[in-house]
Structure 1
Amino acid sequence: MRNRKSALFALCLLPLAALAQDGPPGGMATAVEVFTVAAQPLDNTLGSVGTLIAEDAVVIRPELAGLIAKMHVQDGARVKAGQALFSLESQLLYAEHQEAIANLERSRRGYKRAEELVAKQLLARSEFDQAKADLGVDKARADSAAIRLAKTTIKAPFDGVIGLQQVSLGDYVQPGQALTNLVRLDPMRVDFQVPESALGKLNAGLPVRVRVDAFPERAFAGKVIAIDPQINPATRSVLVRASVGNADNALLPGLFARVELVLAQRANALLVPERALWPIGAQVFVFRVVDGKAQQVQVRVGERLPGQVEIRSGLSAGDVIVTAGQPKLYDGAAVAIAGGDAQPAPTK
């Protein structure tokens, strides 16, 4: 009885074995979807996060006490280096400057007369030295008065954007009091951490792409400008600084940024859909379509992207590979393309 049951079980398995060997019944080709392999640029990137900081940012403060006599710009205005921002009341300092200039002119005339008289030996040498010293003192006083008068006009130290002003017209301000802030928004900088394992690939000039939540569809281009000369022992990483273009002032200091550091660029990488891979144990295969037949090809994978994977070896540009229908395939199986973006490649 046991032998009869075993025989019947073996007979039932024969059609299944035949089906597994020959594919669909009746010699029909297996329907598959395919993809044509093409060479395309690929960046080897490393992701990190950081915070945007301004190229330059200062708080505008007066060096002298006085009344705000004029406010030359509005909140949020773009200004050029040297442009006047605030003017303090300057009448008293102007008068002091004029007095200093008058004293300087008098000292110059006195020194000139003393120089002529001492040449004719009509003036003692000590009196000539005194005239010369008076001239030097009056010149220093005139210079000092001119500097103090100039400081009543507070100017922008660099090109940038004015922040919110913290004083009003007619306010009396003290030296060092905050009036407003000035920020240079183009270019911006971003500091981010890179693992020490990537240190050998780092150098100034590497391209970066920066994305922020405020503009999710945009990638802001930049480049590495500096690498910290020491490793952080707590994080085993190095601090990297990049400069990022911001011509339209879309980026602002303090924004959280996601950074893609491009460590290397390959012009002719082969990217295929991830679903085309057919792993068997530790090895990875794909099915290549040649002359209507499936060829099982072992490949070596490289970089992985969302939904895609780089093929380092095993395929060439122009190869047609299967992306759907692999479970029914074996090496040499007949295939019929039911979808995808290609036709079978010529016989190799």
Structure 2
Amino acid sequence: MTVPAYPLPPAARPCARRARALPSSMLALALVLGLGSAALAADGDRPVEVATAEAGSLGRAVEVVGTLRSNESVVIRPEVAGRVTRILFDEGRPVQAGKALVELDSSTNEAELALARAELKLAEADAERARTLFDQKAGTARARDEAVARLASARASLALAEAQFAKTRIIAPFAGIIGLRQVSVGDVVQPGQAIVNLESIDPLKLDFAVPDLLLPRLRPGQRVTVTVDALPGRSFEGEVYAINPLIDERGRSIALRALVPNADGALMPGLFARVGLGLGSGSAGVVVPEQAVVTRNGRFFVFRVAAGTAEQVPVTLGERSDGRVEITAGIAPGETIVVAGQQRLSAKTKVEIVGPDGVPVGTRPNG
């Protein structure tokens, strides 16, 4: 059954109209109140917190791995064959440059040296006699020249004998720590046979590599921070002193070498090292707190305060580190910038500088 639709009584119709119009009235009221609040807020200066832009630049660090090596390293080897007669070092102990380490049997060399000296003495006498006879017209020029040649040969033989004799005494080529010997007294060693290693470990060399994309930011003198698993909780500082001019084609990496001081001898050659290489930004700029930077429409801005007005300034960013950001263009050192409250600012807005507690700086009590 269809229910007939009866029209509302005339007295009820205004009520219905008022009920339907109520949301529009509330909306209008809210709009008026909102505009009134905005107008009230626009009448006063906006409170902001500020900071001073500092001159400087930030760099980032790249983390890589490397290997510690001796500053100088050599395996002591004899140049002549001989029997070991004396070992003049203690294993694992420091030695000075020029210290005798090993002596070989030199009896044969001593005999050769004595023979060479005797032959030189005879050659000197023969040469003097030949010169005298030639000057007295009693000898020929040929005899004089042959005597002089024999003298030169005798001198060369003596120098050779002295050199061979010197090789029976092996000395340290530089100061360092002596390693573990591989021979004993009485052993007969051959030329080139390993006797003991010598390592210079203060400072140590640090070899590591970084991606070739970092080439523009590499230079001698960059600082490195070194940690090793063998010494947890300790870190060591070093400095890059050499960059390999040849890039590794397979790994697309650049080899670098740094020096790491090791006065206490805590580090040893061969240790695996974790390396932090500091990379400078390569451009001078200013450093500001990171919260000072505002992003709008994909661009970066900072509000600069001057004469009570905050002005929106476009900036170019550099590196970020520890809550700070590098500004490479747009802001000069010493300028005052907004670090809190900039969300309520427009391109140019009158501002009042307040502290973190909201109290205006000019009304803050002294002390």
Q: Given the two structures, how large is their TM-score scaled by the length of structure 1?
A: 0.72
Provide closer, same or farther for how the CA distance between residues 286 and 134 of structure 1 changes in structure 2, counting only shifts above 3 A: closer
Higher Rg of the two aligned structures: 2
Provide closer, same or farther for how the CA distance between residues 322 and 102 of structure 1 changes in structure 2, counting only shifts above 3 A: same
Equivalent residue in structure 2 for 1:75, among 92, 99, 120 = 92
Q: Which residue of 1 aligns with 2:339?
A: 323
Equivalent residue in structure 1 for 2:278, among 241, 246, 260 = 260
Equivalent residue in structure 2 for 1:5, among 5, 11, 23 = 23
Would you say the 8 A contact 1:191–1:240 is kept in 2? yes
Report the alpha carbon displacement of residue 176 of structure 1 after superposing the two structures with TM: 1.6
Q: In the alignment, residue 318 of structure 1 is paired with which amino acid?
A: G
Report the alpha carbon displacement of residue 318 of structure 1 after superposing the two structures with TM: 3.3
Would you say the 8 A contact 1:48–1:260 is kept in 2? no
1:95-106 matches, cutoff 5 A: 95-106=111-122
The structure in which a higher percent of residues are strand is: 1
Report the alpha carbon displacement of residue 150 of structure 1 after superposing the two structures with TM: 0.2
Report the alpha carbon displacement of residue 182 of structure 1 after superposing the two structures with TM: 3.1
Identity, in percent, stands at: 27
Q: In the alignment, residue 338 of structure 1 is paired with which amino acid?
A: P
Q: In the alignment, residue 301 of structure 1 is paired with which amino acid?
A: T
CA separation in 2, counterparts of 1:241 and 1:178?
30
**In the comparison of the two structures, how many residue pairs are matched?**
329
Provide closer, same or farther for how the CA distance between residues 263 and 35 of structure 1 changes in structure 2, counting only shifts above 3 A: closer
CA separation in 1, counterparts of 2:87 and 2:252?
53
Would you say the 8 A contact 1:283–1:298 is kept in 2? no
Tell me, what secondary structure is at the counterpart of 1:318? coil
Report the alpha carbon displacement of residue 118 of structure 1 after superposing the two structures with TM: 6.3
Equivalent residue in structure 1 for 2:222, among 191, 194, 208 = 208
Q: In the alignment, residue 276 of structure 2 is paired with which amino acid?
A: R
Tell me, what secondary structure is at the counterpart of 2:57? strand
Tell me, what secondary structure is at the counterpart of 1:213? strand
Q: Which residue of 2 aligns with 1:178?
A: 194
Alignment RMSD: 4.2
CA separation in 2, counterparts of 1:192 and 1:179?
33
**Deviations 1:201-243 (CA, angstroms, capped at 9, x unpaired):** 767xx531121015865543454x4551x54444555x36455
Q: Which residue of 1 aligns with 2:10?
A: none
Would you say the 8 A contact 1:23–1:328 is kept in 2? no
Q: In the alignment, residue 289 of structure 2 is paired with which amino acid?
A: P
Q: Which residue of 2 aligns with 1:164?
A: 179
CA separation in 1, counterparts of 2:288 and 2:93?
49
Q: Which residue of 1 aligns with 2:106?
A: 90
Report the alpha carbon displacement of residue 154 of structure 1 after superposing the two structures with TM: 1.4
**Deviations 1:305-330 (CA, angstroms, capped at 9, x unpaired):** 31211223443333333334444555
**Deviations 1:148-189 (CA, angstroms, capped at 9, x unpaired):** 1101121233x3412413246515233222223334444846
CA separation in 1, counterparts of 2:316 and 2:334?
18
Q: Given the two structures, how large is their TM-score scaled by the length of structure 2?
A: 0.69
Unaligned runs of 5+ in 2: 1-18, 363-367
Q: Which residue of 2 aligns with 1:66?
A: 83
Q: Which residue of 2 aligns with 1:152?
A: 168
